[in-house]
Structures are given as C-alpha cells and as structure tokens.
Structure 1
C-alpha cells in the first residue's frame, strides 16, 4: 500500500494538509447533507474511493503525488463520517470519545513502532496500511475534539469560531515545536500535528460551510488546495524515493 510519490514534509505539506482537512471535512458532511447516504453507504462509498486511489497508485508506472492527496481527502472525509457516527451511536460525551479514540490511536502507533524497523519508520515516504489506519484515527480524533470544543460553548455559532482559534493556536505550537529538518511520519509531533490540524480543519470547514454553503466551501477549498500544491510544486524523483526505502 506504499504510495510511490509522497510529498516531502515541510511548510508546503502542512499547508496542504490544513486545506485538505477543510475540504475533506466538508466532503464527509456532503455524503449526508447532499448525497443523503446512510451510515453504511457513505463509509462503503468512501472505502471504495480509497481502494480506487490505491489501485491507481499501484498501476501507475512512476506514481503521482496526486494519488497521495486524493487519499488524504478520502480518509479525511471518512474520519468525519466515523466521528459523526460515533457521537450519534456511542451515547458518550465528546471527552470520553476523545480519550477512547486517542487510546486506540496510541495503541496502533505503538504496535507500528514495535513491528516496523526504526530505519523504515523514519523514512518520509513510509506510508503502509498502518499509516493510513493511523491517519483515519487521527482524523477522527481531531474531528471529535474540534466538534467537542465548539459544541461545549454556547451558542454554537460562537463556540465553533472560538474552537477554531483554540485549535489554531494548538497547531502553531505543535508545528513550532517540531524540528525544522524533521521529515519523518513516525514521530509524535507529526501525529500530534495531524490531530490538531484535523480539529482546526473541522471548525474552519463548519464556518465556511455556514457562511458560503457546503458546495461552495468544497469547491473553494478544493481549488485552493490544487492551486497551492501546483504553484508550490517541487518535482520528486520516484527512483530516489524507492532507493530510500531500500536502505
């Protein structure tokens, strides 16, 4: 399940993740609000979309960074759906769900660290099945946290913007504490950054959808993501990526 082309972790990557988080959150909401899919149907549709992206990556001779970003969008949308389903059926508070999800994510990352060599883990391009499972759980946790803070402050129209400010500060602190040259997906600060950005993206997605409508928010965030990635693009040699994996 390794993606042949994975964007290097740096400023461009984190900006892309932030925009993709907003777009993915809106896409997850769209499966219910616009497509009116049931819980099983929307998860199945997003699961199928992820499989298609993975197959496209595997069948591609040299790979394409687009596959990675499409996978991120699909996983982000699925995380939104999982969080919504969990809140609806678990009958538990946001705090309890956050702790449970964090525990599952921590367990998965611990198992990943135990069964994958440190050399492989520290490769920027190491995106196996456990990576995408962790990305899904991190997105779910971020969604629960973002929604939980926003809904704890009344009215919600005030709570969500306040939550966006809180999670935005958290993103700045976590990424600011991350070493500049740290390019691995196997570090704690990487996953903390993902969770915080997902929480911020959830809030910002709700705000833009409320102000602009869901379809317009999706269109603008998707266009912004494509524009930022294209204009900030730095070609990656897939042969170099494969060589790194082999060492």
Structure 2
C-alpha cells in the first residue's frame, strides 16, 4: 500500500483500530446472519471487496487514508466470520487455536517489521505488504477467538472492562517506549482485536442497552467513521505544518 494512504501510528490510531474491532465484530455477525452466504462464499465476497480496494488504491496518487481503513474493516469482518465458523463447526480447543494464531502473527508480524530499527520513525506503520495483511487477518481471528473465550469465562461486561484495561495499559507503555514502539505494534493490535470482540458483543447483546445487533452495528460504525475522520484531519494538519 502506498505510504500516502497509510495513517501514522498515534493515540488516535489506536482508538480507531479499537473502534474498527467493535464495528468489525458487529458487522461480521450481521453479515453472516443476514446474508447467510456460508463460510466459503462469505469470505470470498469479502476477499473480492478487499481486492477491489487494493486495485483502486494502486491507481490513486492522492493522499487518502480511506483505502487503509476500508481494508481494515473488511479484514476484521472476515476474521469474525472465520473465527465463528471455527468455534461452531470445527470446535478446536480455543486456547490451542490462540497459541497457533499467536505464532502465525509473530512470524508474519516480524516479516512486516523487517528493516525497521530503533533509529527509524516509530510513528510509521510496518511495511503494509502481504505479510502485514496476513498478520492483521490472523490478529482479527485471534481476537475473536480469545475475546469470545474471555466473555464466556467471566461474562461480556467483565471481559470488556478487563481487556479494555489491558489495552489502555499497553497503549500507555507504547506511548512512553520511544523508538522501541514498533516492537509493541502487533501486541497492541492483537489485544485491541480481543477487547473489541468482547466490547462489540456486549454492546449488541447486553440487556441493559437492549439495542440489538443492527443498531449496535450502526452505532459502532458511526463511531469508527468519526475516529477515521479525526485521524485524517490530524494527519493533514501535521502535513501542512511540515510543508
């Protein structure tokens, strides 16, 4: 992906990634429940949509973040579908699946960070090639599996609070890590995906709010869009200041 289309890694970026996780969790459930395409056709449609975005991105030389965030949501939606299929049909042990996915994230995450150094710009994303998007998909599946496991173990509300606290702590550590921030990137992404799963399900399913999946998807989607606009506005302001 062209550097012009990639956001800077900042606190706003982490907030947007988290909101993308909530939205993708709700969107994935709504997509599967309403369209009923099945795992193969459903993932194939999402893969085709992602391919269209990548083709459009390659042809556009303007500095737009739209493409990056569209692919993030498409991948998160697909990850939710894949993880739910595994949980309901394949039924491998959740913790074993998480360990395997963590290993895959580590491998492809390391490949995406190849060439990064402590002397480099720690606010840039890893290289957004094939390895990056594979790691992002695996992080989404990991987060869905582990988030569901935590929600079933302690309840959606407590899981959301606990995972949210872990995420805040990791982002705080990332914030003070200076040039070593890039080493924490995939750890924070995986935790954001996990917290987003529990939070997204809690918003859609808890009796206190009682808003249901369609409205929850609309609300988390709106919050995600507002976050992306804030990131884009901040990035344009920084670009203008350095011009």
User: TM-score, normalization: structure 1?
Assistant: 0.84
Cα shift at 1:197: 0.9
Task: Provide Cα deviations, 1:150-186, integer angstroms capped at 9, x if missing partner.
Answer: 1123xxxxx11111112111101111111447588x8
Match of 1:59 in 2: 59
Say which SS state the counterpart of residue 225 (structure 2) adopts.
Answer: helix
Matches within 5 A, 1:57-136: 57-113=57-113, 116-118=114-116, 124-125=124-125, 126-136=127-137
CA distance in 2, matches of 1:183, 1:44: 39
Cα shift at 1:71: 1.0
CA distance in 1, matches of 2:64, 2:111: 29
Cα shift at 1:24: 0.8
Task: Provide Cα deviations, 1:174-231, integer angstroms capped at 9, x if missing partner.
Answer: 11111447588x8331111111111111111111212312111111112122223324
Cα shift at 1:121: 9.5
Match of 1:14 in 2: 14
> Over aligned residue pairs, what C-alpha RMSD do you find?
2.5
Cα shift at 1:235: 4.0
CA distance in 2, matches of 1:167, 1:102: 17
Q: Any conservation in 1 of the 2:5–2:63 contact (CA below 8 Å)?
A: yes
Matched, 1:165 2:139: no
Match of 2:214 in 1: 215
Task: Provide Cα deviations, 1:48-93, integer angstroms capped at 9, x if missing partner.
Answer: 1111111121111214111111111111111111211222343322
Task: Provide Cα deviations, 1:125-170, integer angstroms capped at 9, x if missing partner.
Answer: 43111111111111111111110111123xxxxx111111121111
Q: Any conservation in 2 of the 1:146–1:199 contact (CA below 8 Å)?
A: yes
Paired residue total: 231
Q: Any conservation in 1 of the 2:156–2:198 contact (CA below 8 Å)?
A: yes
- Note the residue ranges of structure 1 that are not aligned, 5 or more in a row: 154-158, 241-247
Q: Any conservation in 2 of the 1:3–1:57 contact (CA below 8 Å)?
A: no
Report the CA distance shift for 1:107/1:173 in structure 2 as closer, same or farther (over 3 A): same
Q: Any conservation in 1 of the 2:79–2:144 contact (CA below 8 Å)?
A: yes
Matches within 5 A, 1:173-184: 173-180=169-176, 182=178
Task: Provide Cα deviations, 1:24-65, integer angstroms capped at 9, x if missing partner.
Answer: 111111121111120101101111111111112111121411
- Note the residue ranges of structure 2 that are not aligned, 5 or more in a row: none
- Comparing 79-88 and 11-20, the one that deviates more: 79-88
Matched, 1:137 2:132: no
User: TM-score, normalization: structure 2?
Assistant: 0.85
